[in-house]
């Protein structure tokens, strides 16, 4: 969140809102069937989700390190972090790694500024755009 200017400023005023904004943004960008786990430092507030872990008395880095070490399918894990120590560990263990800055560019959060969920709508052309004058006259004469 510290690499995203709009969230960094929100983090000072309302950390819960900043965390929720990050999680919803990332979730809206992942592919169907992909799983994402967020690890935040400290204790959780109002956000309750199986995809969000708060480190409590430990650091988020400790939680991430343990998750990597305990998971036997390391090649299926992608670690996104700005912490070089965590990225090195993940790489040595066979995980896919990505710096936070690169991930932000990949999901193009900056390009979505000011948009809402409707920008994800894909027009499938199932329904016609309009009605021809001939069809209109037919319906008008037969159904009115």
pLDDT attached to residue 137: 84
Q: 21-25, 42-46, 109-113, 132-136 — which one is most confidently predicted on average?
A: 21-25
pLDDT attached to residue 101: 86
124 or 8, higher pLDDT: 8
The pTM assigned to this predicted structure is 0.66
d(CA 2, CA 112): 18
Which token pair is 108? 């193009």
For the chain, the structural domain boundaries read: 5-143
Helices (H), the chain: 5-13, 15-29, 60-70, 84-93, 100-107, 133-143
Per cent of the chain over pLDDT 90 is: 26
Predicted confidence (pLDDT) at residue 124 exceeds the cutoff of 60: no
Helix (H) or strand (E) holding 73: none
pLDDT attached to residue 34: 86
Tell me if residue 74 falls in helix, strand or coil: helix
d(CA 28, CA 77): 19
């Amino acid at each position: 969140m510290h690499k995203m200017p709009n969230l960094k400023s929100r983090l000072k005023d309302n950390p819960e809102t900043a965390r929720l904004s990050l999680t919803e943004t990332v979730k809206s960008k992942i592919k169907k069937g992909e799983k994402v786990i967020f690890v935040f430092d400290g204790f959780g507030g109002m956000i309750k989700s199986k995809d969000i872990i708060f480190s409590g008395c430990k650091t988020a880095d400790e939680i991430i390190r343990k998750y990597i070490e305990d998971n036997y399918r390391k090649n299926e894990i992608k670690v996104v972090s700005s912490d070089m120590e965590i990225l090195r560990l993940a790489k040595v263990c066979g995980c896919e790694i990505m710096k936070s800055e690169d991930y932000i560019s990949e999901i193009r959060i900056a390009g979505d500024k000011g948009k809402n969920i409707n920008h994800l709508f894909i027009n499938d052309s199932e329904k016609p755009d309009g009605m021809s004058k001939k069809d209109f006259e037919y319906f008008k004469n037969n159904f009115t």
